[in-house]
Amino acid sequence: MPYLFTSESVSEGHPDKVADQISDALVDHFLAFDPNSKVACETLVTTGQVVLAGEVKSDTYIDVQSIAREVINRIGYTKSEYQFEGNSCGVLSAVHEQSPDINRGVDRGKPEEQGAGDQGMMFGFASNETSSYMPLALDLSHRLLRELAVMRRENGAIKYLRPDAKSQVTIEYSDDHTPIRIDSIVVSTQHDDFDEETKMLAKIKQDVISVLIPRVKAQLPAHIQKLFNDQIKYHVNPTGKFVIGGPHGDTGLTGRKIIVDTYGGKGAHGGGAFSGKDPSKVDRSAAYATRHIAKNLVAAGVADQILVQVSYAIGVVEPMGIFVDTYGSAKVKMSDGEIAQKVSAIFDMRPGIIEQRLKLRQPMYQEAAAYGHMGRKNEVVKKKFTRPGETKEMEVELFTWEKLDYVDKVKKEFGL
């Protein structure tokens, strides 16, 4: 019997994502000037106020207040009527030095001897239902909000947009897990005030359906475009007026959108957030590594969809174990346990080796802090970083965990 599955996304202006982006901007600046920095930084944003807290071990000094303000302005909180504005908000820093009790189990000189920065389990997932090997409902949810942000900055076709927004897409699947159609789309966007609420709601709904949706649809391959139809149920700003938003409307915290950051509810999640953490924290590095594994396995044809789990003990070098679930979609004559043994032989999951394999000591994280950490484009970009008295420009390779650089090796090991 056909079934429905839903995923959501939130925009870069959502308060939790504002917090994530500030935290990751701090991580990037520390890594840019000291690649060996250890960072665990949390951010809280609310009306007119930013609070930074966390632990850092680094040989560099950065101006955390200036970095936070720069992020807020880039997102688009630049007007006083938002009650949260980059140049005028207060920024309180309570960042202090990392506990030596934690660091002693992590730093051991050689990368192959580096212990895990924390205990826990991390999951990676991949599916062949999209070209990015991501679940379709989440992929579409992200696309809607990325395009909405592009339109906001264009300030052309739609002029009333403000930074905060959320989306949600529900897909109908067949019994064999093939997408049949889009059942419903939800878009809630912050907006400038209107004189009349009834006209406002009608205008926003019309613009979403007739301007935003066609622009997103045009980005998609033909077989995904066919899932759009005249029967889609649209819920656009379903509560009505959405003028008060962002950190003024709702306090934001680092790490509260972990499902948006990963697979939209597909697969599984170990519970650890990514943003604000340097890659010695396996919450981050091992989640990227398991995504890299799952994507390369699916791309190689091992299965149509795969979940990979790895677990660690703090300060211990080798993982506790690796688990694989192919959901019965395996294309090889192996049990999931046998596939997991192959994975262990192909991919070295020691934390220090993961850092090296995926080049995770680069200042590469702010770009991942909105619109998902997975399914993104692997590319090299130029970035600029500043600290008191110094500006540094450098090339950075983004989303290295999305590379399909192990497909040939996987095929050879699995006889594909």
pLDDT in tens, 261-314: 999 999 999 999 999 999 999 999 999 999 999 999 999 999 999 999 999 998
101 pLDDT tier (thresholds 50, 70, 90): low
> Binding site annotation covers 377?
no
Q: Which of 14-28, 54-68, 88-102, 103-117 has the lowest mean pLDDT?
A: 103-117
For residues 102 and 180, membership in a common domain is answered with no
> Binding site annotation covers 269?
no
For residues 346 and 292, membership in a common domain is answered with yes
For residues 22 and 7, membership in a common domain is answered with no
**Domain that residue 230 falls in:** 3-11+135-246
For residues 230 and 264, membership in a common domain is answered with no
φ and ψ at residue 356, rounded to 5 degrees: -70, -45
The size of the chain, in residues, is: 416
| CA-closest candidate to residue 363, choices 392, 336, 340, 404 | 392
| CA-closest candidate to residue 372, choices 266, 268, 264 | 264
> Binding site annotation covers 348?
no
- What CATH number is given to the structural domain containing 65? 3.30.300.10
Query: How many whole angstroms separate alpha carbon 261 and alpha carbon 182?
Result: 22
What's residue 271's pLDDT?
95
Asked, for residue 124, whether it belongs to a domain, the answer is yes
**DSSP secondary structure of 382-400:** EEEEEETTEEEEEEEEE-G
> Binding site annotation covers 42?
yes
What's residue 198's pLDDT?
82
What's residue 103's pLDDT?
54
For residues 233 and 317, membership in a common domain is answered with no
* 79 pLDDT more than 70: yes
Asked, for residue 218, whether it belongs to a domain, the answer is yes
- Pair 95, 64: CB distance under 8 Å: yes
> Binding site annotation covers 126?
no
φ and ψ at residue 43, rounded to 5 degrees: -130, 140
> Binding site annotation covers 256?
yes
Beta bridge partners of 96: 55
> Binding site annotation covers 355?
no
Residue 222: burial class (beta carbons within 10 Å; 0-12, 13-18, 19+): exposed
> Binding site annotation covers 268?
no
For residues 189 and 292, membership in a common domain is answered with no
> Binding site annotation covers 30?
no
> Binding site annotation covers 291?
no
Query: How many whole angstroms separate alpha carbon 336 and alpha carbon 328?
Result: 9
36-45 mean pLDDT: 96
> Binding site annotation covers 118?
no
Query: How many whole angstroms separate alpha carbon 228 and alpha carbon 236?
Result: 17
* 108 pLDDT more than 60: no
155 pLDDT tier (thresholds 50, 70, 90): confident
pLDDT in tens, 176-233: 899 999 999 999 999 999 888 888 889 999 999 999 999 999 999 999 999 999 999 9
> Binding site annotation covers 203?
no
> Binding site annotation covers 303?
no
For residues 406 and 305, membership in a common domain is answered with yes
Structural domains counted in the chain: 3
* 391 pLDDT more than 80: yes
> Binding site annotation covers 367?
no
> Binding site annotation covers 110?
no
> Binding site annotation covers 347?
no
Query: How many whole angstroms separate alpha carbon 91 and alpha carbon 88?
Result: 9
Residue with tokens 């093939």: 178
